[in-house]
Amino acid sequence: MINVTQSFLPPLTEYFTLLQGVWERGQLTNAGPLVVRLEKELKEYLGVKHLFFLNNGTIALQLAIRALELTGEIITTPFSYVATTSSIVWEKCVPVFVDIDPESLCLDPKLVEQAITPRTTAIMATHVYGNPCDVVALQEIAERRGLKIIYDAAHAFGVRQQERSVLTYGDVSTLSFHATKLFHTIEGGAVVTNDDEIAHRLSYMRNFGHNGPEAFWGVGINGKNSEVHAAMGLCVLPHISELIAKRRHLSELYDSELADTACRRPTLRSGCEYNYSYYALVMPSEDVLLRVRDKLNAADIFPRRYFYPSLNTLNYVESPPMLVSEDISTRALCLPLYFDLTDAQATSIVTLVREAMK
């Protein structure tokens, strides 16, 4: 069986060595030495000032909303994973959807301005498939209109835009370290900022609001992660360059073999150093997508419809139609892409895709 992704597992001896230290120390959580070390190494690798390792990427989004003290309306994208929208609703804010750019599939800055109302407090945009948003245009709007920016960067680990980490744009960026991601800690995530005051709020909010064992800065939740999860991250991080190189190789193989078909790829932002986190195709129609999916499924190959349905159609939000997102969501399909996928397997996937598209 070939799934859309497969978690990279480092050599067991590397993981066991770190776990042996955990057993010897007896500290499993609460800012243990492996968590502290992982945060330090991630800050260095990603080129960011403040990074807090969390138990998942959804908590990261919720903490970002709380740390920025957002209320009212948050302009956001309908083309993302459901957590982007559900975190806004969960925090008692109102998602206001703006349609996506049909080429990059990211939030369209040209449409943001007209969606701003007196109740708007922020923009929450997603770097779709790791492809950066138009961060310059969004920052100009935010500064001119007095808005905060949160970037859902769940797919954007290691991505650089204009020779700097994409995580340095906006007020806060969030990451997912779920097992399906390029970099993972089995379960996990992180929240990132270069702002000292925001970082201070995040530091206590992720730990029940604690300021030492017997005092509190303010309200918080349990967003911490464990030594066992940090150990996995520390074992995966040294392999990131080879993981990206393999994904790039497979992506280029797909590109070459599918170049003359009717499907297309999202357009990467100019100046982007990409991480090849997903291989997404936009099919000519939903009927073609379903034929391709069913053909692959019959061969025990399981691509994924990232992202379907368009989030503005969820039953707990209200929104006018988002014509581009609703259309793209019916036609976007991610092919299998992961470190252990072989060239032969990728070629067989291409053969089946081409057969289904005839």
For residue 79 the two structure tokens come to 């083309």
Examine the domain organization and report whether 124 and 262 are in the same domain: no
- Is 244 found in the same domain as 188? no
* Torsion 298-303-309-314 (CA) sign: positive
Instruction: Give the C-alpha separation, 6 to 1, whole Å.
Output: 11
In this structure, what token pair is assigned to residue 97? 């959807």
pLDDT bin (cut points 50, 70, 90) of residue 357 is: very high
CATH of the domain at 326: 3.90.1150.10
Average pLDDT over residues 230-245: 98
Give, in order, the Cα–Cα distances in Å from 124 to each of 19, 54, 215.
Answer: 37, 19, 33
Q: For residue 140, what pLDDT band results from cuts at 50, 70 and 90?
A: very high
Give the Cα separation of 45 and 48 in Å (integer): 8
Q: How far apart are CA 328 and CA 184, in angstroms?
A: 28
Output the pLDDT for position 159: 98
**What is the tally of structural domains in the chain?**
2
Give the separation between CA 221 and CA 146, rounded to whole angstroms: 28
- Shared domain for 214 and 244, answered yes or no, is no
Q: Are residues 36 and 172 in the same domain?
A: yes
Average pLDDT on 160-182 reads 97
Confidence of residue 89 (pLDDT cuts 50, 70, 90): very high
The CATH number of residue 98's host domain is 3.40.640.10
pLDDT at 358 exceeding the cut of 90: no
* 53 CB burial (10 A radius; 0-12, 13-18, 19+): buried
Shared domain check, 206 and 260? no
171 contacts 289 by C-beta, under 8 angstroms: no
Containing 35, the helix (H) or strand (E) segment is: helix 33-46
In tens, the pLDDT along 28-82 reads 999 999 999 999 999 999 999 999 999 999 999 999 999 999 999 999 999 999 9
**Quick one: tokens of 155?**
């797919």
Q: Model confidence over 110-123: pLDDT tens digits?
A: 999 999 999 999 99
Say if strands 189-193 and 50-54 run parallel, antiparallel, or are unpaired. antiparallel
Tokens at residue 231, please?
């150990």
End-of-domain residue from the set 192, 212, 238: 238
- Of 238, 267, 296, which closes a domain? 238
Structure confidence at residue 214 as a pLDDT band (50, 70, 90): confident
pLDDT value at 220 more than 90: yes
**pLDDT above 90 (res 250):** yes
What is the spatial order of strands in the sheet that 160-161 belongs to? 164-165, 160-161, 272-273
Same domain? 283 vs 206: no
pLDDT band at 132 (very low <50, low <70, confident <90, very high): very high
Same domain, 66 and 82: yes
Q: How many residues does the chain have?
A: 358
Is the same domain home to 244 and 327?
yes
Given a cut of 90, whether residue 213 has pLDDT beyond it is: no
Does position 212 have pLDDT exceeding 90, yes or no?
no
Question: Domain ends where: 238, 254, 275?
Answer: 238
Based on the fold, state whether residues 200 and 251 are members of the same structural domain: no
User: Residue 84 has which token pair?
Assistant: 């982007």
Based on the domain organization, do 220 and 276 belong to the same domain?
Answer: no
Q: Is the pLDDT confidence value at 230 over 90?
A: yes
Query: Could you tell me if 229 and 249 lie in one domain?
Result: no
Taking a C-beta distance cutoff of 8 angstroms, is the pair 244, 182 a contact? yes
Give pLDDT tens digits for 255-274: 999 999 999 999 999 999 99
What's the pLDDT at 83?
98
- Residue 344 predicted with pLDDT over 90: yes
Domain shared by 219 and 326, yes or no:
no
Q: Which of 81, 67, 220 is nearest to 155 (CA)?
A: 81
Range of the domain at 179: 2-238
Q: What is the mean pLDDT of the chain?
A: 97
